[in-house]
Amino acid sequence: METFGKRARALMRERGISLRRLAQQINYDPGYLSKVLNGRKRATPHLAERVDAALGADGEPVALVPPDGRWRVPDDASDGGLTPDDEERLMLAVRRPSRLDGAVVDALAKILAAQRRAEDAIGSGPLLAPVAAQLGTIEGLVVDARGPVRLPLVDVASQWAEFLGWLHTSTGDAEQARRWFDRAAEWAAESGNPTMAATVLSFKGHLAFLLGRMGPAAGLSRAARRSPAVWIGQRAYDAHQEARALAVIGDPMAERLLAEAAELAAAVEDHRDDTPPWIYYYSAPFYLLERGWVYRLLGRDDERLNAEAIRHLSAGLAGLGDARESAWAAEYLYHLAFALFQAGEAGQACDAAGQAAAIAHRTGAAPAAGTARRATSADAPQMAEASGGDRAGRAAPLTSGLVAGRSGLAVRLSPGYGGAVSAGGRPWRFRRGGRRGRPGGASGRRRSRAGRGGRVRAWRGGG
């Protein structure tokens, strides 16, 4: 029976190409390639495509390797509108880069849009492997691309790298996130896309925020909104993000910066037609939620600002429509619960916290308020109090997904446990039948993210 290895070796003999030379051409380890060609390792479609292109085999080796459906979108019944012609066009472009054209770039953009929608529905974890595999193929296309199609391809590739960087951020891998944000920045610079370049800086600022590094979080957010060439909606977001970082460290500039953020957000609707595809979720309710989050931080010791937090968070959540039940909305429900508890409304706080926990129970995605945040964060003293740590902000050992309010309100979302969330002595209990085992992370690319999904556990804080 003809196999990939047999056919590839025959083609190598016909063309006088050695194993080492072929390995160099396709950028594979010679030892690994030898094992594949001799049947000791399974050939992947990606490897088959590279060998096919290097040997000029017109698809013969590829036909002997089962397809992996790499361009299919997980949990998307429509496959993002990808047609068989689109898929064939992509496969042909991989085999022969000379076939790369605008239709291929359009197909890639269509797939990426579907990936974003899928992440809204199922979270970040299930998309990591397929998106990484797809981007591996796209990298090869970028290397080979020439002529007028190169810049459009590099532009889409930068969006893909930014998306993979986000997925790694959402699932807690900061090192890989930085790697792909760096690649996205490189491609954004080549393609001349100032808003993508700013988005990458913004995501790096968000990553710094999650790691408790408020100086870089504020500085990178400021850098992201420096150029007027950046879409105004991105600049509005980064004004909020900078204000949030300043609020954590108690900088009075945070409240003044919110006024600038509100002005920018109000002007977004006049530029809605210019919205880049990767930040489709920057809506008016979303900006209200971001503003409410900052007010919640500022309102820890200020009743007036805490009331503003409740007002903005409530209005933002009410404006989300069906998206209020999405995994990412749980983060803002957490902040609303916190603000309500700070206002002495324990019963309402419990309602909001219970809704957040119910979303986490249903989706397997925990609110991110405590997942990556270190003891330097704004909530560290309250987290320590609720979890048995000390008031200097050194919390007791915590599992992933800790969310805590002041004494009397705490929510813990971690793998492998059942439990409850309570405030003011009013309990909410949730159980799951089994562990999902997939990374959570609030979906929809909103920057309020989580650790790993699992059963829901919560407890009441100390007195």
At which of 28, 51, 67 does a domain end? Answer: 67
Same domain assignment for residues 129 and 159? yes
The answer to whether position 437 is within a domain reads no
The region of weakest confidence among 57-61, 264-268, 271-275 is 57-61
CATH of the domain at 8: 1.10.260.40
In degrees, rounded to 5, the angle at the alpha carbon of residue 240 between the alpha carbons of residues 395 and 236 is 155
Judged against a pLDDT cut of 50, whether residue 461 lies above it is answered with: no
The answer to whether position 234 is within a domain reads no
Mean pLDDT, residues 187-203: 98
Same domain assignment for residues 6 and 98? no
Judged against a pLDDT cut of 80, whether residue 299 lies above it is answered with: yes
Average per-residue pLDDT for the chain = 77
Same domain assignment for residues 134 and 181? yes
Per-residue pLDDT tens over the stretch 244-255: 999 999 999 999
The answer to whether position 218 is within a domain reads no
What does the DSSP 8-state code read for residue 124? S
Same domain assignment for residues 35 and 89? no
Give me the DSSP letters along 134-202. Answer: HHHHHHHHHHH--GGGHHHHHHHHHHHHHHHHHHHHHTT-HHHHHHHHHHHHHHHHHHT-HHHHHHHHH
Same domain assignment for residues 175 and 143? yes
pLDDT at residue 261 in the model: 96
pLDDT at residue 158 in the model: 98
What angle, rounded to 10 degrees, do the helices at 253-267 and 284-298 form?
A: 170
Same domain assignment for residues 106 and 186? yes
Provide the domain limits for residue 181. 69-192
Judged against a pLDDT cut of 90, whether residue 149 lies above it is answered with: yes
pLDDT at residue 67 in the model: 56
Report the percentage of the chain scoring pLDDT > 70. Answer: 70
pLDDT at residue 328 in the model: 77
- Of 60-64, 133-137, 402-406, the range with the highest mean pLDDT is 133-137
The answer to whether position 338 is within a domain reads no
Same domain assignment for residues 135 and 113? yes
Per-residue pLDDT tens over the stretch 396-438: 222 223 333 333 445 443 333 233 444 444 444 433 333 222 2
At which of 67, 88, 107 does a domain end? Answer: 67
Q: Cα 132 to chain center, whole Å? A: 13
Query: Pick from 137, 228, 264, 199: which is nearest to 447 by CA?
Result: 199
pLDDT at residue 323 in the model: 83
The answer to whether position 115 is within a domain reads yes
* Token pair of 7 as six digits: 């056919």
At which of 51, 67, 83 does a domain end? Answer: 67
The answer to whether position 136 is within a domain reads yes
pLDDT at residue 266 in the model: 96
Same domain assignment for residues 52 and 133? no
- Of 99-103, 438-442, 447-451, 459-463, the range with the highest mean pLDDT is 99-103
Q: Let me know how long the chain is.
A: 463
Same domain assignment for residues 16 and 82? no
pLDDT interval class at 363 (50, 70, 90):
low
pLDDT at residue 72 in the model: 65
Query: Pick from 382, 296, 300, 305: which is nearest to 336 by CA?
Result: 296
Same domain assignment for residues 167 and 147? yes
Number of domains in the chain: 2
pLDDT interval class at 364 (50, 70, 90):
low
The answer to whether position 32 is within a domain reads yes
The region of weakest confidence among 153-167, 370-384, 407-421 is 370-384
Same domain assignment for residues 33 and 104? no
The region of weakest confidence among 83-92, 271-280, 427-436, 452-461 is 452-461
Same domain assignment for residues 58 and 77? no
d(CA 287, CA 232): 13
Mean pLDDT, residues 5-31: 90
The answer to whether position 60 is within a domain reads yes
pLDDT at residue 64 in the model: 77
